[in-house]
Amino acid sequence: VQLQASGGGLVQPGGSLRLSCAASGRFFRINVMGWYRQVPDKQRELVASVTTGGNTNYADSVKGRFTISRDNAKNTVVLEMNNLKPEDTAVYYCNAAVTSTTLLARDYWGQGTLVTVSS
């Protein structure tokens, strides 16, 4: 399974960005798709996730500003980020919790995309 992320870049505080991620390869089902972020010397943290059924989960720090959505038919997940703050600056990683064709569970990660919020 490969995850190809796109989006990110430099934006001023209060601005918006859109991250996209597409999964490809062979698998039985993608159970949860989500976005994590990491800054130097800190652990990777969950930003938002969405299940196959559309249930979402957000970090408290992004609630009301970020929206995650998913297209199950296309195996894609999008993170809409609004009212961005400097503390949102991080490398963002797409994640997929997958059930393989042999019914094994495994996590996959995208390559990471840098989001910089600065004036």
**In this predicted model, what pLDDT tens digit does every residue of 16-34 receive, in sequence order?**
999 999 999 998 899 999 9
pLDDT at residue number 86:
97
At 97, the pLDDT band (50, 70, 90 cuts) reads very high
Strands (E), 1-119: 2-6, 9-11, 17-24, 29-38, 45-51, 56-58, 66-71, 76-81, 90-99, 105-109, 113-117
User: What one-character DSSP code corresponds to residue 61?
Assistant: G
Do the strands 2-6 and 56-58 form a parallel or antiparallel pair, or are they unpaired? unpaired
pLDDT tens per residue, range 4-18 = 999 999 999 999 999
At 100, the pLDDT band (50, 70, 90 cuts) reads confident
The alpha carbon of 117 is separated from its chain's Cα centroid by a whole number of angstroms, namely 17
